[in-house]
Amino acid sequence: MIGGLFIYNHKGEVLISRVYRDDIGRNAVDAFRVNVIHARQQVRSPVTNIARTSFFHVKRSNIWLAAVTKQNVNAAMVFEFLYKMCDVMTAYFGKISEENIKNNFVLIYELLDEILDFGYPQNSETGALKTFITQQGIKGQHQTKEEQSQITSQVTGQIGWRREGIKYRRNELFLDVLESVNLLMSPQGQVLSAHVSGRVVMKSYLSGMPECKFGMNDKIVIDKQGKGGTTDEPGKSGKQSIAIDDCTFHQCVRLSKFDSERSISFIPPDGEYELMRYRTTKDIILPFRVIPLVREVGRTKLEVKVVIKSNFKPSLLAQKIEVRIPTPLNTSGVQVICMKGKAKYKASENAIVWKIKRMAGMKESQISAEIELLPTNDKKKWARPPISMNFEVPFAPSGLKVRYLKVFESKLNYSDHDVIKWVRYIGRSGIYETRC
Amino acid sequence: MTDSKYFTTTKKGEIFELKAELNSDKKEKKKEAVKKVIASMTVGKDVSALFPDVVNCMQTDNLELKKLVYLYLMNYAKSQPDMAIMAVNTFVKDCEDLNPLIRALAVRTMGCIRVDKITEYLCEPLRKCLKDEDPYVRKTAAVCVAKLHDINAQLVEDQGFLDTLKDLISDSNPMVVANAVAALSEIAESHPNSNLLDLNPQTINKLLTALNECTEWGQIFILDCLASYLPRDDRESQSICERVTPRLSHANSAVVLSAVKVLMKFMEMLPKDLDYYGTLLKKLAPPLVTLLSAEPELQYVALRNINLIVQKRPEILKHEMKVFFVKYNDPIYVKLEKLDIMIRLASQANIAQVLAELKEYATEVDVDFVRKAVRAIGRCAIKVEQSAERCVSTLLDLIQTKVNYVVQEAIVVIKDIFRKYPNKYESVIATLCENLDSLDEPEARAAMIWIVGEYAERIDNADELLESFLEGFHDESTQVQLQLLTAIVKLFLKKPTETQELVQQVLSLATQDSDNPDLRDRGYIYWRLLSTDPVAAKEVVLAEKPLISEETDLIEPTLLEELICHIGTLASVYHKPPSAFVEGSRGVQHKRLPPRAGSGESTESPDVGQSGPSEAPPAVIPSQGDLLGDLLNLDLAPPTATVPSVQPSMQMGAMDLLGGGLDSLMGAGLGAAPAAMPASLGGAPAVGGGLGDLFDLGGGVGMPTGSYVAPKTVWLLAMKAKGLEISGTFARRGGIIQMDLSLTNKAMSVMTDFAIQFNRNSFGLAPAGPLQVLTPLSPNQTIDVSLPLSTSGPVMKMEPLNNLQVIYPPTK
């Protein structure tokens, strides 16, 4: 299991050092600094073995988190734990920075003591942790016996992510379907790979221990129902449903029920959390099409023309559109003309960045640029990185639709109808690239 | 709160000041002081001198202060064992506290104080806490048993904590169960033979129930534990798989990977014709692909594991090639791993896409990545014959870019392509020769020299080219020197008239002016060969080389099986067995997949399954370091006891011809050595010094007389093979290796229908004809037979080298 956990600043100074096992000595702290943080070359692997000691690291801004072990640990678990550790810290004191870590080092030690015992990760749900580890000193002295046992049963219980006795005057929930659409397209406009990775993020402000059921236009479910019902038009339901390649769920979702019935039922944590992630690859709506045209005029000049076409309902508006056209390292000057928005050559980033605030569906826009090059004797040709794009659209490119989210709370007297529900769809660009 | 100020006190006399503050009457001041101490401890200052003062602060109502003091204690108790005893009373008292959080805190901390003297005092509180009414205390106590075991294993056993821990597996609280499982698994690791976990269908059922209810981490502990269980039959195996599959949709990648491990392992027991087997295969692909959308570090872990899974069961991901395409912004470690998997999945169906991608990658920035991409193009050519032509032309395009490392890498792979498809692409040699001057890496130089030597008759100025290398002979690396020597000898044998001077020059450079024994030996061998019998030399040096295999860099099968049992762990990331990187007793156990069950072949040993035609894997060219796994295949063969006597036709004894085997072979001379030599070296035409010595031993190739034949030794005892005793030796008669056997029937009944089969071995030995035992062998009768052997069989490096396995199925 995990033998120790260290947090360093960008210089390699230790901010937090917690050792759980005897086989990890103080020299391990230095070994990592010397061999990884101060190493000359780029990091070649997130797992490093130095003198039979394995180091796992992740970086958050310029802070290094490293877990150390001498055993054959579950590597996936160690990384999951490190991410979780980051989440917990963020939930407690915001951004992970040297300043914040130094300011909260006592708290961090306390958290580490609680969520990692002898190197074994324990309950690390912030909802549960916050009931007994707080920033204003620790509760506990003045708690009643009931309160204490409530805490322990929550931390160890089956529903470790939610405490009993939550009350809201207004029962409300927000459902965000956040998708990122990824594309790799050849210069000729052929889709090399495309997928949507989506997340359903829920903010729930519900009283008691509500039982929820979430439904979407999952092809498997719709087809199943289609068979049962006779009135459904066969073609119609097929079109509206989507094929989900795979999905994963927050630990509150009953996985065995999903496996057998494909229904998503759960008791939600309080506040914001990620209910599910999913991936689709079929019938994706690609919101934008990028058509590049790069022409080399002699050895010292490039002509670039890029057309973007929006491909969705004209009534919808895409926002925060940004097209990034890479330029060679030996660029000396750039002239740009664009029909819409603003375009600028950013020498430090070796790219022309073209920004458009808003663009409706079924429209087209164009940029053309002349790039002057310095003559070089570099034999290696310019690698021509792909043109990438960023945007945000108010629909789900996968076609996912929320069909229902039902809330049942048997003990308290509010029903599904009393809950105010909000649903929002946001599609963003993931890695959206067109080779040129 | 601005605790950061504690990090910045570096005055002299600081310890003294802290001491005063720690003994202050004011609570706040005390707390501040302890915080300063902890901060100093973190940055590596020695504050152990403050031990008594800090311990004095322990008896407090303030939980925050208490936790800080505990933290200090855990760090320094070891250096001050006597002082640590002072703290014991407070711990014992805290273990009785009304607040379960404090009880748990006390028992947790006490376990972390790794001082022998304290452990005695720990036992009683621990016993109580293991039976505490509060699950939070019990789950903490469960882990504490593992801590105590780490300090004093004997004490834990004597005190009966192990039994209490086992009872906790039936606890009503899922988290207690999970922690108990984790603790037991860890303790069991250091007692490889104890039946500590004692997994049986009842406990498995409990674990599977807890699996649905516990935290994500608990699920990992339980799944990892499940993976070490061996189901009794395929039905149990299937029912466990059914209950584990829902975990594949968990958001935590580690849960998913551990579930994949359980499934991959238990699948082995399911008959392949079962519907469920196919369903399971289909279910595995999507979660594996989803892992690739995780954070890059986890992607890396996932990719290393997928690399193993693809080798074991290529069918799972064969349609998922596209997801392994490299993204421009992937970290380099993800890119390199993806590339590896792309090549493994490359097939005729997707080769066009793969090739287009690889070509794209070859223009990227990172040198390692570009090199690997170029090499990958070569591997595609070797793997998918239909694509070879396109690959070669792509490589030629890349050579035209004149980027130094791209050119070198391309030449190395083109050499392999020549080996795979002789006499097909030699037209490109001219282009290669143009780049001769830019090659500065040994591997590329060696490859180029090999090409020139191999095709000397088609290159007009081959002698000039090779001569140009000869100028700086002593500055070259050994690899290049050896290659140059061989190439010039080849050239001489092909064009003897013009190159006599050249060959003499290189021979004298290699033998007289070199300190390298390998080089010298090879030089002498060639010299002697050429001077005694040029015809024989031609046969040896210009012998036809066996084709290289399609798959390269495969992990050796036994190691692969072991690694599959370690999916998700560091072993699967390093692609090494745990024993290679874990010290001490832990991890020394070798895990194995359960024996394949079900269909008709089931009664055959895995050895036979491997060499059988039905699922023959491609010959493995083990790269260095891959032979880590022990190849004691014999252990895998089912002991005869498990083979019911109802199926006499399937009986067999596997025998191990360890010892004596190689010696007698050597004595027998090495008539077949030239043919075996290149084969045993796989793709590398370089010959090591060891084999060179063998030539000398033989004294001259093909000398028929005077060889020593070792006396027969008993290879197989009667009791191990249903009454058949075999003794034997190896001999060489008339240039043919023969295996002399004496078969004795020590059973009660007559034996007939003898047959013999050789497993892959280091020398490629295989029977040249059927075993001729004409008469039935009656009880107590002995007959002698000679079996001619050839060295044309499949070659696999055995450990030890002279290990030879023969399957010898007598049928009654």
Q: Which residue in B147, B137, B203, B229 sits closest to B175, CA to CA?
A: B137
Q: Which pLDDT belongs to residue A369? A: 94
Q: How far apart are CA A98 and CA A89, in angstroms?
A: 12
Q: Which of A31-40, A125-134, A212-221, B178-187 has the lowest mean pLDDT?
A: A125-134
Q: Which pLDDT belongs to residue B704? A: 38
Is the confidence at residue B82, as pLDDT, over 70? yes
Is the confidence at residue A266, as pLDDT, over 60? yes
Chain B contact set for A44 (CB, 8 A): 332-333
pTM equals: 0.76
The reply to whether residue A386 touches residue B213, judged by beta carbons under 8 angstroms, is no
What residues contact B651, with CB distance under 8 A and at least 6 apart? Answer: B640, B643, B722, B809, B810, B811
Q: Which residue in B779, B782, B755 sits closest to B649, CA to CA?
A: B755
Among A21, A118, A153, the strongest candidate for a mutation testing the B interface, having the largest count of B CBs within 10 A, is: A118
Residue A101 pLDDT class (50, 70, 90 cuts): very high
What residues contact B341, with CB distance under 8 A and at least 6 apart? Answer: B303, B306, B307, B310, B317, B324
SS3 content of chain B, % helix, strand, coil (to 5): 60, 5, 35
SS3 content of chain A, % helix, strand, coil (to 5): 20, 40, 35
Q: Which pLDDT belongs to residue A146? A: 74
Chain A contact set for B188 (CB, 8 A): none
Q: Which pLDDT belongs to residue B560? A: 94
Q: Which of A41-50, A58-67, A133-142, B294-303 has the lowest mean pLDDT?
A: A133-142
Is the confidence at residue B524, as pLDDT, over 60? yes
Mean pLDDT, rounded, of chain A: 88
Residue A236 pLDDT class (50, 70, 90 cuts): very low
Nearest to A80 among B135, B179, B254 (CB): B254
Is the confidence at residue B20, as pLDDT, over 60? yes
* A309 lies within 8 A of chain B by CB: no
Higher pLDDT residue, A392 or B473? Answer: A392
* A385 lies within 8 A of chain B by CB: yes
Nearest to A76 among B179, B298, B332 (CB): B298
Is the confidence at residue B675, as pLDDT, over 70? no
How many beta carbons lie within 10 A of that of residue B234, not counting itself?
19
Q: Which pLDDT belongs to residue B797? A: 61
pLDDT tens digits, one per residue of B292-331: 989 999 999 999 999 999 999 999 999 989 899 998 889 9
The reply to whether residue B570 touches residue A279, judged by beta carbons under 8 angstroms, is no
Instruction: For helices B201-213 and B216-226, give the axis angle rounded to 10 degrees.
Output: 160
Query: Beta strand A4-8 with A14-19: parallel, antiparallel or unpaired?
Result: antiparallel
The reply to whether residue A120 touches residue B566, judged by beta carbons under 8 angstroms, is no
The reply to whether residue A52 touches residue B582, judged by beta carbons under 8 angstroms, is yes
Is the confidence at residue B609, as pLDDT, over 70? no
In order, the DSSP letters of B540-556 are HHTPPPPPPPS--SPPP
The reply to whether residue B583 touches residue A52, judged by beta carbons under 8 angstroms, is yes
pLDDT tens digits, one per residue of B361-396: 988 888 999 999 999 999 999 988 888 999 999 999
Nearest to A76 among B42, B112, B301 (CB): B301
Higher pLDDT residue, B236 or A139? Answer: B236
Q: Which pLDDT belongs to residue B11? A: 58
Q: Which pLDDT belongs to residue A227? A: 59
Q: What is the DSSP letter of B384?
A: -
Q: How far apart are CA B40 and CA A17, in angstroms?
A: 11
Q: What is the DSSP letter of B365?
A: S
- B97 CA to chain A: closest CA distance, Å? 11
Mean pLDDT comparison of A130-134, A150-154, B250-254, B462-466, highest-scoring range: B250-254
The DSSP H or E segment spanning A266 is: strand A264-266
What amino acid is encoded at A428 in this protein?
A: R
Residue B197 pLDDT class (50, 70, 90 cuts): confident
Nearest CA in chain A to B76: A19
Is the confidence at residue B812, as pLDDT, over 60? no
Six token digits for residue A319: 């926002």
Is the confidence at residue B630, as pLDDT, over 50? no
pLDDT tens digits, one per residue of A55-66: 999 999 899 999
The reply to whether residue A29 touches residue B44, judged by beta carbons under 8 angstroms, is yes
Q: How far apart are CA B298 and CA B295, in angstroms?
A: 5
Q: How far apart are CA B224 and CA B182, in angstroms?
A: 9
Q: Which residue in B270, B275, B339 sits closest to B303, CA to CA?
A: B339
The annotation places the binding site of A at: 342, 344, 346, 355, 357
Q: Which of A380-384, B103-107, B270-274 has the lowest mean pLDDT?
A: A380-384
Q: Which of A173-177, A350-354, B604-608 has the lowest mean pLDDT?
A: B604-608
Mean pLDDT comparison of A10-14, A240-244, B30-34, B697-701, highest-scoring range: A10-14
Instruction: For helices B367-383 and B351-361, give the axis angle rounded to 10 degrees.
Output: 160
The reply to whether residue A76 touches residue B568, judged by beta carbons under 8 angstroms, is yes
Is the confidence at residue B690, as pLDDT, over 60? no
> Between vectors from CA A397 to CA A391 and to CA A400, what angle results, nearest 5°?
140
The reply to whether residue B568 touches residue A75, judged by beta carbons under 8 angstroms, is yes
Put the strands of the sheet holding A364-373 in their side by side order: A288-297, A301-310, A364-373, A331-338
- A433 CA to chain B: closest CA distance, Å? 9
Residues B793-805: what's their mean pLDDT?
62
The residues in B 552-591 lying below 8 A from A, measured between CB atoms, are 566, 568-574, 578, 581-583, 586-587
Q: Which pLDDT belongs to residue B541? A: 87
Q: How far apart are CA A83 and CA B37, in angstroms?
A: 29
The reply to whether residue A118 touches residue B258, judged by beta carbons under 8 angstroms, is no
CA atoms within 13 A of residue B151's CA, in its CB half-sphere: 21
Residue B710 pLDDT class (50, 70, 90 cuts): low
Percent residues over pLDDT 70 in chain A: 94
The reply to whether residue B401 touches residue A52, judged by beta carbons under 8 angstroms, is no
Mean pLDDT, rounded, of chain B: 79
Chain A contact set for B141 (CB, 8 A): none
* A22 lies within 8 A of chain B by CB: yes
Q: Which pLDDT belongs to residue B669? A: 36
Residues A366-373: what's their mean pLDDT?
93
Nearest to B253 among A26, A76, A193 (CB): A76
Residues B392-405: what's their mean pLDDT?
89
Six token digits for residue B447: 């490859």
* A102 lies within 8 A of chain B by CB: yes
Length of chain A measured in residues: 436
Nearest CA in chain A to B335: A44
In degrees and rounded to multiples of 5, residue A176 shows phi and psi of -115, 125
Put the strands of the sheet holding B805-808 in their side by side order: B653-656, B805-808, B757-758
Q: Which residue in B9, B87, B82 sits closest to B42, CA to CA?
A: B9
Helix H, strand E, coil C: the string for A285-302 is CCCEEEEEEEEEECCCEE
Length of chain B measured in residues: 812
Residue that is written with structure tokens 């002349």 in the block: A370
Mean pLDDT comparison of A78-82, B368-372, B429-433, B723-727, highest-scoring range: A78-82
Residue B58 pLDDT class (50, 70, 90 cuts): confident
Q: What is the DSSP letter of B811?
A: B
Q: Which pLDDT belongs to residue B126? A: 93
Query: Beta strand A288-297 with A331-338: parallel, antiparallel or unpaired?
Result: unpaired
What residues contact B170, with CB distance under 8 A and at least 6 apart? Answer: B177, B206
Q: How far apart are CA B36 and CA A106, in angstroms?
A: 10
The reply to whether residue B217 touches residue A77, judged by beta carbons under 8 angstroms, is yes
Is the confidence at residue B780, as pLDDT, over 80? no
Is the confidence at residue A323, as pLDDT, over 70? yes
Q: Which residue in B682, B618, B604, B689 sits closest to B650, CA to CA?
A: B604
Residue B805 pLDDT class (50, 70, 90 cuts): low
Q: Which pLDDT belongs to residue B721? A: 64
Residue A138 pLDDT class (50, 70, 90 cuts): very low
The overall longest dimension of chain A from CA atoms, in Å, is 83
Q: Which pLDDT belongs to residue B612? A: 36
* A379 lies within 8 A of chain B by CB: yes
- A234 CA to chain B: closest CA distance, Å? 27
Nearest to B587 among A72, A120, A384 (CB): A72
CB-based burial, A46-61: b 16+ in 10 Å, e otherwise:
bbbeeeebbbbbbbbe
B733 three-state secondary structure: strand
* B329 lies within 8 A of chain A by CB: yes
Q: How far apart are CA B661 and CA B320, in angstroms?
A: 47
Residue B8 pLDDT class (50, 70, 90 cuts): low
- A424 CA to chain B: closest CA distance, Å? 22
Among B2, B4, B588, the strongest candidate for a mutation testing the A interface, having the largest count of A CBs within 10 A, is: B4
* A23 lies within 8 A of chain B by CB: yes
Is the confidence at residue B434, as pLDDT, over 90? no
Beta bridge partners of A365: A308
Among B10, B114, B145, B216, the strongest candidate for a mutation testing the A interface, having the largest count of A CBs within 10 A, is: B216
- B635 CA to chain A: closest CA distance, Å? 24
In order, the DSSP letters of A100-169 are HHHHTHHHHHHHHHHHEETTEE----HHHHTTT--SSS---TT--HHHHHHHHHHHHSTTTT--S----S
Q: Which pLDDT belongs to residue B472? A: 84
The reply to whether residue A109 touches residue B3, judged by beta carbons under 8 angstroms, is no
Q: What is the DSSP letter of B736?
A: E
* A246 lies within 8 A of chain B by CB: yes
Q: How far apart are CA A431 and CA B475, in angstroms?
A: 49
Q: Which of A88-102, B75-89, B147-161 has the lowest mean pLDDT?
A: B75-89
Residues A410-422: what's their mean pLDDT?
87
